[in-house]
Amino acid sequence: MPEYESKSRTSRWISVVFLQGAEADAVLGLIDRSGASAAFDYLQPRDLGKATTDAALENGYVYDRIPAGRTDHTIEHDGSPYALTYSRTYRYVSLLRWHPLESEVQPTRPAPRRDDIWAAPRSTRQTERTVTL
């Protein structure tokens, strides 16, 4: 995952989890008893990485900035890509994760297939790379 500190205006936030009603009340109670860090610890395991990102992109839960209204509390978890918003008035809790735009993601070169006769053997030194025909 890219470093959180490198976020810029070309980044976006994706929804990891959104709870409302009774489910949110349980997390709001946790925040009251143990603080926002406890809520982060409780909600972060619901982030399934690429599956969460794909679902957010497919369903349109992607934001240019952290979505929050006037009654919301917003907390960015120090040193991590997560942000928490919650509202006691509207009884909801939302965990978001910072995500770079595709233009910020460095494409990785796919590894050659083992049955590809034109692929050079893997080596850490360029001088040892040879292709045998």
Sign of CA dihedral 7, 47, 67, 35: negative
pLDDT of residue 10: 58
Please check whether residue 44 is in contact with residue 82, taking contact to mean a CB–CB distance below 8 angstroms.
yes
- Measured between alpha carbons, how far is residue 62 from residues 51, 103, 109, 111, 128 in Å? 14, 16, 27, 31, 46
- Measured between alpha carbons, how far is residue 118 from residues 10, 96, 121, 133 in Å? 39, 44, 9, 8
- Beta bridge pairs of residue 87: 92
Please check whether residue 39 is in contact with residue 84, taking contact to mean a CB–CB distance below 8 angstroms.
yes
pLDDT of residue 79: 81
- Give average pLDDT by consecutive 10-residue segment, the chain, 133 residues: 45 94 96 95 95 95 92 87 95 95 50 51 45 41
pLDDT of residue 111: 53
pLDDT digits (tens, 9 = 90+) for 78-109: 788 999 999 999 999 999 999 986 644 444 45
pTM: 0.69
Q: Give me the helix-helix angle, 36-43 and 22-34, nearest 10°.
A: 130
Q: What is the largest CA-CA distance in the chain?
A: 71
pLDDT of residue 77: 72
Distance between terminal CA atoms of the chain?
A: 39
Please check whether residue 18 is in contact with residue 84, taking contact to mean a CB–CB distance below 8 angstroms.
no
